[in-house]
């Protein structure tokens, strides 16, 4: 309706005042609740064409739109605002379309659909996934689903940081203290086991540094000469020389970690179409930098290091290869980009990475463009803020990080305790309870994270997230389950549903709910344009609030008029479908019963 109105307003300005305006200049808003109307046209931008008062201009437009659009029942003018009352027939017709369309709000892919690659997760193989990874994975998965819903082809990708000194630290500590320990012998997840050795290395290293300093060695010298850091660096050197023993241990410990990551990804309900490994991409990146050097894109300094001069772009000089020929993170990202470009015909690349890397991706975009990658200058860095907990910040090397697996288990425990306290699942068997507790826990976690503007640093509170009231995942899931209960009762009573009659008189609560449902396609489109899961999350909350008001104020199953009862059942079912569809874009499941 909004799009039709914009076109009609453009036509009106042309016919009434002889002026050409663009559709994007036409402002359509939901009418404020203290005024009569459904949609409001802001008239002020057109006063210079009309050369009349705001009230007269609005009345001109109101008369024109009423004559030309049958869906406008009446209008009123409040200063420079034209409030339009949309006919009941329009809202019911829109409901019938939503009810009959199993992909309502979703744009289908075509042969011309753009291919968007979304990178997220990007873990290191020296530790398990933590709270920050949870936000990253949930944002990346949801953005991917939203982009799909907007008609794009999407490839979900991950780059695993599986090489470097941090990996060797875990390996060194295992060789010194592991005594052959494995995930099987210890009963621990592989990523947890390797992460413990990363923590052990840090403790070992700090003890050695402290000991050297006690013997009079200056701090900086102690930090460089501690036996453990020397051992880890030697291990890295051997790795780069393809030493078979070191490479074998590296592959074994990485496999432990990958198996652990897969378990965590499965718990979170996320996955990838293609995984790249830094150990494969860094050499490719080095070759690309050398190509850029040969083509005059980059420059070599006297010490043999290779740099990009970005001063013409208003930035500084960026090192790409050290004097010893080793690569930096930027080089690795260039190599990964080249491999991706060879594997897929990418139209758009989206990197889901924290806001501490804003400058890195600004530089990467320029470098890829200089190297000839068409999507380089248009890559999108989806920058998001950090996650904090009431206990404070997290440091993985000290073993104080909030582990993703532990958090999920804690969420399930809180969901179980909250459900038992409220007595909501007393009649279910234990297996059903466990599955519902899992859905509630993951729904609470995902919704609490995704409803927040991703650019903001957020505080995550498990207890607050799992509340069955307010703007939470469980509150929305509970409303969905309530809707399914209504539909089951209707089925038990033999009440069949069909498209609603358009001539019905509607009550205010019904119209408000219809307006919310009508907005879903536009919200999905806006969420795709702005890469914003928060828009979907908060839309679902507003929809659920409207439905609950409708549910409490209006009789559904007990309505004696068959046509009205059918309309309300169709309205109820469609609301449930849209909640489920919206939550699917967030990666959240909706229990049929709660």
Give pLDDT, residue 470: 86
Q: How many CB atoms lie within 10 A of CB 110?
A: 8
CATH fold label, 2-86? Gyrase A; domain 2 (3.30.1360)
Per DSSP, what are the bridge partners of residue 309?
Answer: 317
Give pLDDT tens digits for 502-512. Answer: 889 999 999 99
Q: What are phi and psi of 159, to 5 degrees?
A: -115, 120
Q: Which residues contact 467 (CB under 8 A, 6 or more apart)?
A: 418, 474, 475
- Does 378 score more than 50 pLDDT? yes
Burial of residue 204 (CB within 10 Å: 0-12, 13-18, 19+) is buried
Of 125-134, 167-176, 557-566, the one with minimum mean pLDDT is: 125-134
Of 165-169, 448-452, 468-472, 579-583, the one with minimum mean pLDDT is: 468-472
Average pLDDT in the chain: 93
Tell me the mean pLDDT in the region 175-191: 96
H or E segment to which residue 157 belongs: strand 153-160
Q: Count the helices and strands in the chain (H runs, E runs).
A: 22, 14
Per DSSP, what are the bridge partners of residue 389?
Answer: 392
Tell me the mean pLDDT in the region 299-313: 94
Tell me the mean pLDDT in the region 124-147: 95
Level-2 CATH architecture, domain 404-585: Orthogonal Bundle (1.10)
Tell me the mean pLDDT in the region 482-495: 96
Domains of the chain by residue range:
2-86, 159-270, 404-585
Give pLDDT, residue 477: 96
Give pLDDT, residue 374: 82
Give pLDDT tens digits for 186-200. Answer: 999 999 999 999 999
Tell me the mean pLDDT in the region 119-148: 95
Burial of residue 475 (CB within 10 Å: 0-12, 13-18, 19+) is buried
- 265, 271 in Cβ contact below 8 A? yes
Prediction pTM value? 0.90
- Does 394 score more than 90 pLDDT? no
- 278, 165 in Cβ contact below 8 A? no
pLDDT tier for residue 401 given thresholds of 50, 70 and 90: low
- 161, 119 in Cβ contact below 8 A? no
Give pLDDT, residue 473: 95
- Does 75 score more than 70 pLDDT? yes
Percentage of the residues of the chain whose pLDDT score is greater than 90: 83
pLDDT tier for residue 466 given thresholds of 50, 70 and 90: confident
Please give the structure tokens belonging to residue 470: 């307010």
């Amino acid at each position: 309706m909004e799009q039709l109105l914009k076109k009609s307003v453009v036509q009106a300005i042309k016919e009434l005042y002889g002026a050409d305006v663009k559709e994007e200049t036409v402002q359509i808003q939901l009418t404020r609740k203290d005024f009569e109307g459904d949609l409001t046209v802001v008239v002020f931008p057109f006063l210079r064409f009309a050369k009349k008062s705001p009230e007269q201009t609005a009345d001109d437009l109101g008369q024109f739109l009423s004559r030309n659009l049958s869906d406008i029942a009446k209008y009123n003018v409040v200063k420079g605002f034209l409030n339009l009352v949309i006919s009941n027939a329009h809202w019911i017709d829109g409901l019938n379309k939503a009810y009959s369309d199993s992909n309502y709000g979703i744009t289908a892919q075509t042969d011309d659909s753009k291919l968007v690659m979304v990178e997220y997760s990007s873990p290191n193989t020296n530790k398990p996934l933590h709270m920050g990874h949870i936000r990253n994975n949930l944002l990346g998965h949801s953005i991917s689903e939203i982009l799909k819903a907007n008609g794009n082809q999407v490839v979900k990708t991950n780059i695993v940081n599986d090489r470097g000194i941090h990996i060797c630290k875990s390996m060194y500590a295992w060789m010194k203290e592991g005594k052959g320990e494995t995930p099987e012998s210890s009963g621990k997840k592989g990523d947890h086991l390797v992460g413990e050795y990363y923590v052990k290395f840090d403790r070992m290293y700090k003890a050695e540094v402290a000991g050297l300093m006690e013997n009079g060695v200056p701090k900086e010298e102690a930090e460089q000469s501690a036996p453990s850091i020397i051992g880890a660096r030697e291990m890295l050197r051997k790795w780069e020389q393809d030493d078979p023993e070191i490479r074998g241990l590296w592959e074994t410990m990485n496999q432990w970690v990958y198996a652990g990551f897969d378990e965590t990804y499965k718990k979170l309900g996320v996955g990838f179409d293609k995984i790249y490994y830094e150990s494969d991409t860094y050499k490719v990146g080095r070759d690309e930098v050398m190509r850029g050097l040969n083509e005059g894109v980059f420059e070599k300094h006297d010490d043999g290091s290779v740099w990009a001069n970005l001063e013409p772009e208003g930035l500084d000089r960026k090192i790409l290869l050290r004097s010893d020929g080793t690569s930096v993170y930027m080089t690795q990202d260039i190599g990964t980009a080249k491999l991706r470009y060879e594997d897929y015909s990418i139209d758009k690349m989206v990197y889901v990475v924290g806001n501490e890397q804003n400058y890195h991706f600004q530089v990467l975009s320029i470098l890829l463009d200089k190297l000839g990658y068409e999507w380089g200058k248009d890559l999108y860095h989806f920058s998001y803020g950090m996650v904090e907990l009431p206990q404070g910040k997290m440091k993985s090397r000290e073993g104080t990080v909030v582990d993703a697996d532990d958090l999920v288990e804690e969420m399930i425990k809180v969901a179980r305790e909250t459900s038992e306290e409220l007595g909501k699942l007393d009649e279910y068997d234990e297996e059903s309870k466990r599955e519902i507790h899992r859905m509630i826990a993951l729904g609470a976690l995902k919704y609490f994270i995704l409803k927040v503007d991703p650019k903001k640093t957020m505080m995550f509170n498990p207890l607050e997230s799992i509340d069955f009231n307010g703007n939470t995942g469980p509150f929305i899931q509970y409303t969905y389950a309530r809707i399914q209960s209504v539909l089951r009762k209707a089925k038990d009573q033999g009440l069949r549903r069909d498209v609603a009659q358009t001539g019905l008189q509607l009550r205010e609560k019904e119209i408000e709910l219809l307006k919310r449902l009508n907005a879903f396609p536009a919200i999905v489109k806006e969420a795709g344009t702005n890469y914003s899961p928060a828009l979907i999350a908060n839309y679902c909350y507003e929809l659920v609030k409207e439905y609950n008001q409708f549910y409490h104020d209006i009789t559904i199953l007990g309505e004696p008029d068959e046509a009205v009862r059918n309309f309300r059942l169709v309205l109820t079912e469609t609301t449930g479908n849209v909640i489920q569809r919206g939550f699917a874009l967030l990666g959240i499941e909706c229990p049929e019963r709660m």
